[in-house]
Amino acid sequence: MEILMPEPQIYVERTLAIIKPDVIDKEEEIENLILRSGFHIIQKRKLQLSPEQCSNFYAEQFGKVFFPNLTAYMSSGPIVAMVLARNCAVSYWKELLGPSNSLRARITHPHSLRALYGTDELRNGLHGSLSISSAEKEIRFMFPEAVLEPLPTGQRARDYLNLYVKPTLLAGLTALCKEKPADPLIWLADWLIEHNPNKPKLQYHISQ
């Protein structure tokens, strides 16, 4: 009996994360938690939004009673905006954040980021995109230079694997055989990260 194997696919999804003004001093600590949770930070910038920019970013919330306080809060100091990438990035980041109300998060999701770093319903410490479409929109807002291309599938995916992934993996495995490290998995992982031909450049700049 012939066993049909599914065609290889490339799973890459991005979402927007924001460290809000009142927890900006916890930036390094929060970023470490993000990385330990399996995300890659592929773009990052530190900036301070004007009230008008905050109004545009949260335009879908316009008219709600908390809207003026929200824009005042988000424009009260610097923020750190990050593009996070991993498989199912949007849903995993939402799960890591927990409920938007930090007071409720402490009861229902005590280990979530908003339970740990948020203060109340409004000042919840961190932002996350609600869907893939909102993530694309928000990433373009915070990173106007970002290029969000459709994910490769079918022959394009196979071409990508043959052109970039397989040669790099083969070179890494060859180097692994020559090096013979004590912990081959960790060594190979570090080697692949270091020699990734498409390793994104971390963008970090401050704009006022």
Closest CA to 49 of 90, 25, 18: 18
Pairing status of strand 40-47 against strand 13-19? unpaired
Catalytic residue of the set 40, 111, 127, 205:
127
SS3 category, 84: strand
Q: Does 111 participate in catalysis according to the annotation?
A: no
Give, in order, the Cα–Cα distances in Å from 184 to each of 140, 179, 189: 39, 9, 8
Q: How many CB atoms lie within 10 A of CB 6?
A: 5
DSSP classification of residue 118: -
Q: Which residues, 6 or more positions from 85, have their beta carbon under 8 angstroms from its beta carbon?
A: 12, 13, 14, 39, 40, 42
Q: Which amino acids are annotated catalytic?
A: 127
